[in-house]
């Protein structure tokens, strides 16, 4: 559904705002705020409502909220004085008061041959990278896994696997998962992926099936990019029925870890194909990650520049702080002559600011711990790593960090299983 008002048109499916026929560049949070106000135009939207809808309930300052509202007004040609589109109600909130006309989306069905061609497109081709980005974080939906048997017990198992995967993926703060009730609407159906992507604002879909084979249960999991239905990753796992209780959690954790890694790789590839002038804060963050994982001195310096740019554009982008801190530490470990106490203090402080923005993000806790480890603060480094594992027991790099912390204290017998766990969780990790 597109929304027309005044000389403006807001197209949520393409995340595009036009005014007088010209595209208006807006930051992701500003776009989301504007979209939310338009959808809720029948009422005054409170500050708490906006924070929950746009920032996921995280604590933000009044000045941050005011700046996003002012930016939304400016994008529409409105102002705080005129308030022709967005009106402030003292002590109550804001409301979209422009006259809105809703227009149905233009749906283009892919012919079977075209669908097959795009599904077979190699990574890096336009078909593989042109899918719209619907949010600051990649949006992922997990469809109910399908039982290939009419046995009710297998149906319950499939439901349990689906729920476990969702639970594990929800620990990865780099992803945004849709609500469980949205996924139920597609149970038992074979949805058209591009249409599903638009309907749920999801760039990626996880699906799969369960099949009993003799004394084993085979779980097949797949990850798709919704823009053109491209299959990004697929894997199968054979579990012994006699050991199912012990292996199911381990398997769903592996699936979640691999999905997070593959979505990250797809996002980095997408951003590398995007014109720089069209990049937003999250794009600069992904470009920074692409350089970060190349692990050279020049790439590390470029990654630091891009992470700083992302933070400047969006100071609430918590993971950019984590990777900037981590990059500073790795530059001293691998690419410079020795540690710099000033840079170490900066790395710790940058990661600490990230924790303040999102204290539930395991990656940020890891980065904070890694910076303290480089500063030889072993006790607090170990505490940070263990806190990170509690937040996300499926994140490979956190186990690597815990192994590092133990190894620096010469606790090698405890460190080795941590490294083995990291490799098991993410066998194709760019830092393996």
Q: How confident is the model at residue 132 (pLDDT cuts 50, 70, 90)?
A: very low
3-state SS string over the chain? CEEEECCEEEECCCCEEEECCEEECCCHHHHHHHHHHHHCCCCCECHHHHHHHHHCCCCCCHHHHHHHHHHHHHHHCCCCCCCCCEEEECCCEEEECCCCEEECCCCCCCCHHHHHHHHCCCCCCHHHHCCCCCCCCCEEEECCCEECCCCHHHHHHHHHHHHHHHHHHCCCCCCEECCHHHHHCCCCCCCCHHHHHHHHCCCEEEEEEEEEECCEEEEEEEEEECCCCEEEEEEEEEEEHHHHHHHHHHHHHHHHHHHHHHHHHHHHHHHHCCCHHHCCHHHHHHHHHHHHCCCCHHHHHHHHHHHHHHHHHCCCCHHHHHHHHHHHHHHHHHHCCCCCHHHHHHHHHHHHHHHHHCCCCHHHHHHHHHHHHHCCCHHHHHHHHHHHHHHCCCCHHHHHHHHHHHHHCCCHHHHHHHHHHHHHHCCCCCCC
Residue from 344, 345, 343, 348 nearest 364 by CA:
348
| pLDDT of 345 above 80 | yes
309 — pLDDT class (breaks 50, 70, 90): very high
Fold of 274-425: 1.25.40
pLDDT at 335: 86
What CATH number does domain 2-103 carry, 3.10.450.50, 1.10.10.10, 3.40.50.1240, 3.50.30.40?
1.10.10.10
pLDDT, mean of residues 182-211: 74
Across residues 177-186, what is the average pLDDT?
56
Average pLDDT of 18-38?
88
Residue 126 has pLDDT above 60, yes or no: no
Q: What is the pLDDT of residue 278?
A: 78
Average pLDDT over residues 165-184: 74
Averaged pLDDT score across all residues of the chain: 83
The tens digit of pLDDT for each residue in 48-85 reads: 889 888 887 777 888 889 989 999 999 999 988 889 99
- What is the distance between the alpha carbons of residues 133 and 269, in angstroms, rounded to a whole number? 13
% of the chain surpassing 70 pLDDT: 89
Q: Is 112-268 in CATH node 3.40.50.10070?
A: yes
Which pLDDT score, from 0 to 100, does residue 29 have? Answer: 85
| pLDDT tens-digit series, residues 227-239 | 877 888 999 999 8
State mean pLDDT over 258-271.
88
pLDDT at 109 > cutoff 50: no
pLDDT at residue 432 in the model: 78
pLDDT at position 305 is: 95
Question: Average of pLDDT values for 280-303?
Answer: 91
With bands split at pLDDT 50, 70 and 90, how would you rate the model's confidence at 383? very high
Supply the pLDDT for residue 117: 31
Confidence of residue 195 (pLDDT cuts 50, 70, 90): confident
Hey, where are the domains in the chain? Answer: 2-103, 112-268, 274-425
Read off the pLDDT band of 269 (50, 70, 90): confident
CB 292 within 8 A of CB 303: yes
The pLDDT value recorded for residue 116 is 36
422 has a pLDDT exceeding 70: yes
């Amino acid at each position: 559904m597109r929304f027309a008002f005044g000389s403006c048109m807001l197209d949520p499916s393409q995340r595009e705002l036009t005014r007088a026929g010209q595209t208006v560049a807006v930051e992701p949070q500003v776009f989301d705020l504007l979209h939310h106000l338009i959808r809720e135009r029948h009422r005054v939207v409170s500050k708490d409502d906006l924070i929950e809808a746009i920032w996921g309930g995280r604590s933000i300052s009044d000045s941050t909220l005011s700046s996003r509202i002012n930016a939304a007004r400016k994008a529409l040609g409105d102002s705080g004085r005129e308030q022709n589109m967005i009106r402030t109600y003292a002590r109550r909130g804001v409301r979209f008061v422009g006259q809105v006309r809703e227009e149905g989306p233009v749906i283009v069905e892919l012919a079977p041959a075209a669908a097959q061609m795009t599904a077979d497109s190699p990574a890096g081709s336009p078909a593989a990278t042109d899918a719209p980005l619907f949010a600051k974080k990649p949006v992922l939906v997990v469809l109910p896994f399908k039982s290939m048997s009419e046995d009710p017990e297998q149906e319950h198992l499939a439901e349990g696997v689906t729920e476990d995967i969702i639970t594990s993926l929800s620990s990865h703060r780099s992803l945004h998962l849709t609500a469980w009730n949205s996924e139920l609407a597609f149970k038992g159906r074979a949805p058209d992926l591009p249409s599903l992507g638009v309907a749920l604002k999801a760039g990626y879909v996880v699906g799969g099936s369960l099949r009993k084979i003799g004394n084993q249960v085979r779980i097949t999991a797949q990850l798709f990019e919704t823009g053109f239905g491209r299959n990004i990753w697929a894997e199968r796992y054979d579990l012994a029925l006699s050991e199912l209780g012990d292996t199911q959690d381990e398997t769903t954790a592996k699936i979640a870890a691999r999905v997070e890694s593959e979505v990250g790789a797809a996002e980095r590839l997408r951003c590398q194909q995007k014109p720089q002038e069209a990049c937003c804060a999250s794009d600069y963050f992904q470009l920074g990650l692409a350089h970060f994982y190349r692990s050279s001195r020049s790439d590390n310096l470029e990654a630091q520049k891009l992470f700083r740019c992302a933070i400047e554009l969006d100071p609430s982008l918590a993971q950019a702080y984590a990777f900037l801190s981590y990059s500073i530490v790795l530059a001293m470990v691998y690419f410079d002559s020795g540690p710099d106490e000033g840079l170490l203090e900066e790395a710790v402080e940058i990661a600490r600011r990230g924790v303040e923005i999102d204290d539930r993000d395991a990656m940020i806790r890891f980065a904070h711990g890694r910076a303290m480890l480089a500063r030889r603060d072993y006790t607090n480094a170990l505490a940070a790593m263990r806190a990170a594992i509690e937040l996300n027991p499926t994140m490979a790099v956190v186990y690597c960090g815990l192994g590092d912390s133990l190894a620096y204290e010469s606790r090698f017998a405890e460190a080795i299983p941590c490294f083995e766990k990291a490799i098991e969780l993410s066998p194709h990790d760019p830092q393996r």
